[in-house]
C-alpha cells in the first residue's frame, strides 16, 4: 500500500483531533503508529488515551510546558531538532504505517525547523508510510507537496466568549 502525505491546517479547531482520529482508525487496522508532537510538552487528556494503546502507538513530545508566543528559545529549537531526527527515523524505517507530525506546521512557522528540512523529510519517507502534518500556517510549499490538504476554518468558537479549554474536550 502506498503512503501519502496529508496536511491538516487552518485557523479552526480540530487538526490534532482529526489526526488522532486517523490514528485510532489505523490502530483498528493493526497499524503501528508514531506520533511526534512539536511545541507541546504539557499534559493533555489524549496522552492518557494513547498510553492505553502504547503497544501500537509511540508518542513523543518535542516542546516545553509553555506556549511559544514570539521568538522561540534555544531550548525550543533543540527539542524540535531532536524531534525531526526521531521522526526521520520513524518515517524511513518502514516500521510504521502512519507517522503524525503534530504541529509540524507550527514548528516551521516559528523556525524551529526549516521548511526545506520538512520537504527533505517528505522526500525521505518510506513509500508505504502515511505522513500527516498538522498545525495552522502551513507553508505553501508543504501544501503543494502534500497529496491531501484539509483546512479547518473557524466560523464560531466559544473561546471568544471567554470559555477556556476544557478537560476532555480541548485539552
pLDDT tens digits, one per residue of 85-101: 999 999 999 999 999 99
Q: Is 55 exposed, middle or buried (0-12, 13-18, 19+ CB in 10 A)?
A: exposed
Q: 148 phi and psi, to 5 degrees?
A: -140, 130
Residue 160 counted as domain residue: no
Residue 110 counted as domain residue: yes
Residue 63 counted as domain residue: yes
Residue 10 counted as domain residue: yes
Cβ–Cβ under 8 Å, residues 19 and 132 = yes
Question: pTM for this structure?
Answer: 0.92
- The number of distinct structural domains making up the chain is 1
Which residues have a Cβ under 8 Å from the Cβ of 24 and sit 6 or more positions away? Answer: none
Cβ–Cβ under 8 Å, residues 156 and 123 = no
Range of the domain at 104: 5-138
- Digit-coded pLDDT (tens) for 121-130: 999 999 999 9
pLDDT at 64: 81
Residue 170 counted as domain residue: no
Amino acid at each position: 500500500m502506498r503512503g501519502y502525505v496529508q496536511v491538516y491546517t487552518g485557523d479552526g479547531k480540530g487538526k490534532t483531533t482529526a489526526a488522532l482520529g486517523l490514528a485510532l482508525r489505523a490502530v483498528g487496522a493493526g497499524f503501528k503508529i508514531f506520533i511526534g508532537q512539536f511545541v507541546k510538552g504539557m499534559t493533555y487528556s489524549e496522552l492518557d488515551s494513547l498510553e492505553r494503546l502504547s503497544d501500537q502507538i509511540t508518542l513523543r513530545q518535542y516542546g516545553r510546558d509553555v506556549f511559544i508566543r514570539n521568538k522561540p528559545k534555544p531550548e525550543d529549537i533543540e527539542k524540535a531538532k531532536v524531534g525531526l531526527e526521531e521522526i526521520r527515523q520513524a518515517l524511513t524505517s518502514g516500521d510504521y504505517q502512519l507517522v503524525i507530525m503534530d504541529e509540524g506546521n507550527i514548528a516551521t512557522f516559528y523556525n524551529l525547523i526549516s521548511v526545506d528540512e520538512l520537504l527533505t523529510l517528505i522526500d525521505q519517507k518510506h513509500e508505504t508510510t502515511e505522513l500527516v502534518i498538522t498545525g495552522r500556517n502551513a507553508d505553501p510549499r508543504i501544501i503543494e507537496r502534500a497529496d491531501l490538504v484539509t483546512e479547518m476554518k473557524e466560523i464560531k468558537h466559544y473561546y471568544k466568549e471567554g470559555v477556556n479549554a476544557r478537560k476532555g474536550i480541548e485539552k
